[in-house]
Structure 1
Amino acid sequence: MKKNINLQSCIIATALGSMLFTASCKKDFLNVPPQAQQPSVTFWKTQDDALKGVNAMYANLRSWDNVAFNAIAIESTGSDEADKGSTPTDATFFNLFDQFTVTSTQGSLQGFWTGQYQNINLCNQVLDNVPNITMDAALKSRFLAEAKFIRAYSYFRLVRAYGNVPLRLNVPKDNTEYNIRQSDKANVYAQIEKDLTEAATVLPQSYGAADLGRATRGAALGLKAKAAMYQKKWADVLALTNQVMVLGYDLFSDYEKLFRTQNENNVESLFEVQAELLQSNGDASNSQYSQVQGVAGVMGWGFNTPSAELASAYESGDPRRDATILFRGETTPQGDLVPTTVPNERYNQKSYVPFNTRVSGFNEGAQQNFRVLRFADILLMNAEAANELGNPTQALTSLNRVRRRARGNNANILPDVTTTDQTALRNAIWKERQVELAMENDRYFDVIRQGRALQVFGPKGWKANKNEVWPIPQTEIDLSGGLLKQNPGY
């Protein structure tokens, strides 16, 4: 488990130290020197310093607060697609999120908040300091664009989870700048859009092998489309997704293999949090995304398990069901038998790493990337926007492209959707998002933005005018001296 750090300490900390790493070949920029400790007073002088500062942003994205328990609690547990998992007495705090009884003092609220502001702090350090470094001008511009993308991604996660949050765009210069008020969520979204617009004008369409996994133009445009979708800016969503659709992305041919480690950063990937198991460097092999969700007692801890509701949501014969859910007693395509003695009926197959890759002394599945944004999501956003704007032809084209990949060569399953009725087509697109993006931390927020949370989550305890957002961590309110205000109902 990782220790929570409050927002002030996140801001004050230089946060480079053990997160510095270099880039020379594929994923080498994940190899963090475990003893790298460079005093901040001698930092931000050279192009290499700038590279290390930028790489530190990417390193933090795979931290505990960003991809493990705290992210799962905030972004997945409340949905109808996931159960707590593990055993009934293990990590019972997840039930507070599942039943919507969580209060502002619960630790995962603080942990997720901390993780996002650590990301933002690292981005702001780059944005404040790199402009003053004498270095290659094009590389400098790219570094600043990468920082804007990751800052926007972190604010997007914050605004979905908490609503109004402090909008910090610089590293505080003195004690008078630590404590700032929350910004209205509309202003947070405006800053997200600004950062992504500026990033998209600079970021390359693709990278060579040495830099795979860095933010691209497509990632910036795609995330901007997603932010626009949450604001119901349908014309923007359509325009942005149309732009992404001509940048060379495509659907990976095999849905199940899409999520295996050997196919990371493939043609469908717009952005992934990079992870690797480096036997020469245990400190860098720190991702616990797969570990916390792996088959309990075999390859992980067994949390965030697919629900019975999700298992029953798929159409008959949909291969995505078996590619998303590891069932107790099944044998995976990679030849692993899920024992019949494990405590849970189902596990998240998208986080699955074959059992024979386990290395003693390392987190199980430490090499598994976390998929943030896929081309399938772009197509479904495009379909939803087109339908909302009265263009069912384009909506059906994008929607059915996703379904056709899923059915492959089996013409007897997943027939094309043909309805042009706007309501029926909207429901079909929402259903497709549920099964296509299952267990990828979107379902909970999707249902809320669709205005269906009371219907879908109400039986679990979800309440309107309260549970649209989670509570602001009480520690943050206390540290602010009451400047930060709690969300209504908490």
Structure 2
Amino acid sequence: MKSKITLYTLLALVLCNSACKKALDLKQQGVYTSDNYFRNEVDAVNAVSGIYSLLEEEDYIGHAETTFDVPSDDYWRSGDHGEDEAIENLTYDASNAAIRYPYKWRYEEINRSTNCIINIPKITAISADVKSRSMGEAYFLRAFGYWRLMVIHGDVPIITEDDYTKQLFNVPKSPIEDVRKQIESDLKQAVSLLPESYGPTDRGRVSKGTALGLLTKLYMYWEKFPEAIATGQQVISNSHYALAANYQDNFTRANENSTELLFSIQAVQNVVQNDFTVYYIPRPWGGYGFSQPLQGLADEFEANDSRKAATLLSVGDQIDIGDGKGLTTFTSDLSATGYVFRKYAVFNSASAGGGVDHTFAVPLMRSADTYLLVAEALIRTQGVGAGDALINQIRHRASPLLKPVAGAGMKELIHERRMELAGEGERHQDLMRWDKDKIVDIAAIYNLSVSKAPIDQSKNVIFIRPKNYYFPLPQVEIDKSKGVLIQNPNF
């Protein structure tokens, strides 16, 4: 979903001083600003599409955000980005490039969303349905920007509508509790405004279920378990967000129409490259070969769990990479660990030109995640066994041969989340929130040398509490603020 007009000149406006005032006062032709752009329904839709377009940014959701999961016991960072090694080993500092890259894009998402929230209500030449939907999308996407900031950094600046109108962007950090309240408010607005579903021409837009799914996740991180249960059940009970018939259906080209995909990155072949997918695919197959699965993840799958074959390519497995040669064998030289994530290795057929499939919709949030979050909330409020029904729905969908759980506690829940969501950016954050509640010992899990066969490499991650619960703010942002932004503790 790409904006047809480059509308957002926010940074330029902020940096512009009195020397350029006369130039701005001139009546320019063909130049759009927030004051003269929002005229009709088409403008509103294009402006919102411009927010979605940020999901394709390589230094944002397109790749950089996935880097924050590589410290986990599921990944070997691989790739050729030197900054990723420090993220993986938790030896980074505030100048690390991987910390710096996505920060500005999260705030750009917030700025574009706020621009729409302020200006779309002023449009009169627009249908009520499109206005409501567009406002709901803007509220959700702003919440998502703050969500990523909060999860990664903790306390962060909140830019209000009043700040935006006054072009006041150098503001101090807000406590994490206030950031959570901001996200909650935006998501509740989105729930009230968004439709339950869309027709094929609007495929990929966020829905009421998307907002409910992220709100459920927010409540779990906030430890508001009754609210998480009530909110998540609205997703689980709605057929518009039903689980796909087969697990692997979520990772095929046809998944664009899946009811399970609450939120995804949409791309168009030969128009928009999907960097997210490319980063997971081996270099000889047209990818970059990053984020390779570890043996420990492969070993965690149960014998009859079909999710293993859908999630991982192992040495000896075969796949059609669209080169016209039929099935290609995955060999040990294609990965330092002996595995890659099959769920992102999606290719065009030879008749369609071969190569990486950029039409594949990359899942950012699935209903299955919500099922397991609600199951966890039930276990943590009502005791072992309270989440069995939901866990078993996920397990039975994976394979009828998997033995149903009975009296499942957090151990079983943790296992199920790891298997269901492997490679989807949840593991490190899950372990950290469980560690804070002393459900797991993340230091013991991470402070181990892990052999990555077939190549003899080791991963020894030293987790320091509370320092490593959050990443620092980029040092460049601290410097630019001239004392307004205060760095996170221990950095």
TM-score past 0.5 threshold: yes
- What displacement does 1:286 show? 3.1
1:250, CA displacement in angstroms? 2.0
1:351 aligns with 2:340: no
Contact 1:299–1:365 under 8 Å retained in 2: no
Q: Which has the higher contact order (CA 8 A, sep 6+)?
A: 1
Q: What is aligned with 1:417?
A: 405
Q: 1:79 aligns with which of 72, 79, 86?
A: 72
Query: Is 2:254 the counterpart of 1:266?
Result: no
Task: Tell me the CA shift for residue 107 of structure 1.
Answer: 1.2
Shift of 1:67: 2.6
Identity of aligned residues (%): 28
Q: 1:148-182: CA deviations, max 9, x gaps?
A: 0111111111101000011113363445x121011
- Residue aligning to 1:306: 293
Instruction: Provide TM-score, normalisation by structure 1.
Output: 0.85
Q: Partner of 1:457 in structure 2?
A: 446
Structure-1 separation of matches of 2:443 and 2:179: 25
C-alpha contact 2:347 2:355 (8 A) present in aligned 1: no
Give the Cα separation in 1 of the matches to 2:9 and 2:156. Answer: 15
Partners of 1:397 and 1:68 lie apart in 2 by 35
Q: Mean Cα displacement is larger for which, 369-378 or 347-356?
A: 347-356
1:18 is aligned to none
- After TM superposition, list the pairs within 5 Å mapping 1:319-468 onto structure 2: 319-332=306-319, 335-344=327-336, 345-354=338-347, 356=349, 364-390=356-382, 392-408=384-400, 411=401, 414-419=402-407, 425-451=409-435, 452=440, 453-459=442-448, 460-468=461-469
SS in 2 for 1:341: helix
Partner of residue 64 from structure 2, selected from 56, 62, 70: 70
Would the aligned equivalents of 2:310 and 2:343 in 1 still touch at CA under 8 Å? yes
Of stretches 473-482 and 112-121 in structure 1, the one that deviates more from structure 2 is 112-121
Return the index of the structure with the highest Cα Rg. Answer: 2
- In the TM superposition, what are the counterparts of 1:224-263 in structure 2 within 5 Å? 224-248=215-239, 249-263=241-255
Change (3 A) 1:379 1:357: farther
Match of 2:144 in 1: 153
Between stretches 134-143 and 227-236, larger displacement belongs to: 134-143
Residue-pair matches, total: 442
Query: Using the alignment, how far apart are the partners of 2:198 and 2:383 within structure 1?
Result: 35
- 5+ long unaligned stretches in structure 1: 1-8, 16-36
Deviations 1:426-467 (A, max 9, x none): 111011001110000011100000113223223411111100
Q: Comparing both structures, which one devotes a greater share of its residues to helix?
A: 2
- Structure 2 distance, partners of 1:13, 1:262, is 41
Q: Secondary structure at the match of 1:304?
A: strand
Distance 1:141 1:357, change over 3 A: farther
User: For residues 23-73 of structure 1, what are the alpha-carbon distances to aligned partners after superposition, in whole Å with 9 as ceiling and x for unaligned?
Assistant: xxxxxxxxxxxxxx8532641122211111011111111211223442122
| Contact kept in structure 1, 2:320 and 2:347, CA below 8 Å | no
Q: CA deviation at 1:370?
A: 2.1
* Structure 2 residues not aligned, in runs of 5+: 1-7, 15-29, 322-326, 449-460
Paired AA for residue 45 in structure 1: R
Give the corresponding residue for 1:12: 11
Write the distance in 2 (CA, Å) between the matches of 1:416 and 1:13: 57
Pick from 97, 100, 117: which aligns with 1:110?
Answer: 100
Cα RMSD after superposing both structures: 2.3
Distance 1:446 1:265 in 2: 28
Give the Cα separation in 2 of the matches to 1:386 and 1:303.
36
Q: Tell me, yes or no, if structure 1 residue 185 matches structure 2 residue 176.
A: yes
SS for the counterpart of 2:365 is strand
For the residues of structure 2 that align with 1:357 and 1:92, how far apart are their CA atoms? 35
Structure 2 CA distance, aligned partners of 1:127 and 1:444? Answer: 33
